[in-house]
Amino acid sequence: MDFDEIVIRTERLDFPALAAGDGPIIVCWHGFPDHPASFGPLAERLVAAGRRVVAPFLRGHHPSTVDQLPFGDGLTLAADAAAVNAALSDEPVDVFGHDIGAGVAGRLAAIRPDLVRRVVTASVPPPAALRTIFDDPAQQQRFFYLFLFQVPGVGEALLNDTLIGYLWRTWSPGLEVPAHVREMYADPAIRANALKLYRANFDRSLHDPALAELGQVSEKPAEVPMLVLAGADDGCITPDKYADAATGLAAGSRVEVVAGAGHFLQLDRPDEVAALTLDWLR
Name the burial class of residue 269, with classes exposed (0-12), middle (13-18) and buried (19+) by CB atoms within 10 angstroms of its CB. Answer: buried
Work out the pLDDT band at 226, boundaries 50, 70, 90.
very high
Give the tens place of pLDDT for each residue, 22-39. Answer: 999 999 999 999 999 999
Amino acid in position 19? A
Please report, for the chain, the start and end positions of each structural domain, with discontinuous segments joined by +. 4-281
User: Is residue 131 over pLDDT 90?
Assistant: no
CA distance 174 to 151: 30
Residue 203 has a CB neighbour count (10 Å cut-off) of: 13
Give pTM, 2 decimals. 0.97
Work out the pLDDT band at 244, boundaries 50, 70, 90.
confident
Q: Is 281 helix (H, G, I), strand (E, B) or coil?
A: helix
The mean per-residue pLDDT over the stretch 102-129 comes to 96
Domain at 4-281, CATH class: alpha beta
Mean pLDDT in the chain? 97
